[in-house]
Amino acid sequence: FGMESGPEPGRWPAACCVVTGASRGFGRSLVRLLAPRLGHGSLLLLLARSADQLAELAAELRGTGSGLRVEFVAADLGCEEGLRQATAALREVLPAGPSGRLLLINNAGSLGDISKTFLDFTDPDEINSYFAFNITSALCLTSSALQAFGKQPGSSRTVVNISSLCALKPFKNWTLYCSGKAARDMMFQVLALEEPDVRVLNYAPGPLDTDMQLLARTKTGDADMRQLFQNLQESGQLIDCSVSAQKLMKLLEEDTFCSGAHVDFYNI
């Protein structure tokens, strides 16, 4: 995604971009930074559950007069119907978008019930619905996007998985979140291996100042973990979403990461 070949300084050439979990938090910050960089004629497809927030964001981006086509799909990626809706949208809009570049950012995710310990998870429906949203949907959306965009000579394809330190390190009460993040990292490492011409990045954005972080410091069952997150907030160590999103943009623009790598906010 190096910018030097862009039609205007500071702008990327026309691209097809897809961002999941785009309506709030990190996803929203990311979209706001990404949109102005996209060259004339680019397509931006936003996916999230909240139709109102998506419509508002799309209207804001369309109002900039940048020649950017903004589409959105409000769907719950955790249920089959929502996932079908999202993959159908990809198959419809991607082949009609610019053919030079594809950027897919898998940002949608959830914490799961962090008041529970490992031994509390006995209901398969609860576990399966967590993994359906956090793993299955990311795999289906990514494969559908790559198929729909196709493999064209001279085009570049980049897939980003929004990862976490939790993909590498276990935390008490976070059975679902840690295992989901670890599975996603590995899944995208396999993609990097199988498709050497697809650039794949697992990006851990650091402890972000979001609603998810608020849940972490109030709902985590383990008192020490709760305290850890409270201390991060009180000492001003939580990271503003736009600061971390800026680092991801830099990574994509420099494009020097090893495909499939796990890169942490703090290591850039």
- pLDDT, tens digit, 9 for 90 and up, residues 174-208: 999 999 999 999 999 999 999 999 999 999 999 99
Q: 59-105: per-residue pLDDT in tens?
A: 999 988 778 999 999 999 999 999 999 999 999 999 999 999 999 99
Half-sphere exposure in the Cβ direction for 188 (13 Å, CA): 31
Q: In degrees, to the nearest 5, what angle opens at C-alpha 163 toward C-alphas 162 and 169?
A: 170
Single pTM value for the model: 0.95
Provide the pLDDT for residue 5: 44
What are the boundaries of each domain within the chain?
16-206+241-264
Residues 6 or more apart whose CB falls under 8 angstroms from that of 219 comprise: 114, 115
Element (H, E) at 181: helix 175-194
Fold of 16-206+241-264: Rossmann fold (3.40.50)
Number of CB atoms found within 10 A of residue 63's CB: 9
By the 8 A CB rule, do 225 and 178 touch? no
Provide the pLDDT for residue 9: 54
Return d(Cα 114, Cα 173) in angstroms, integer.
5
Amino acid at 34: L
The dihedrals phi and psi of 158, each to the nearest 5 degrees, come to: -130, 130
Residue 254 banded pLDDT, cuts 50, 70, 90: very high
Dihedral angle sign, alpha carbons of residues 56, 211, 189, 78: negative
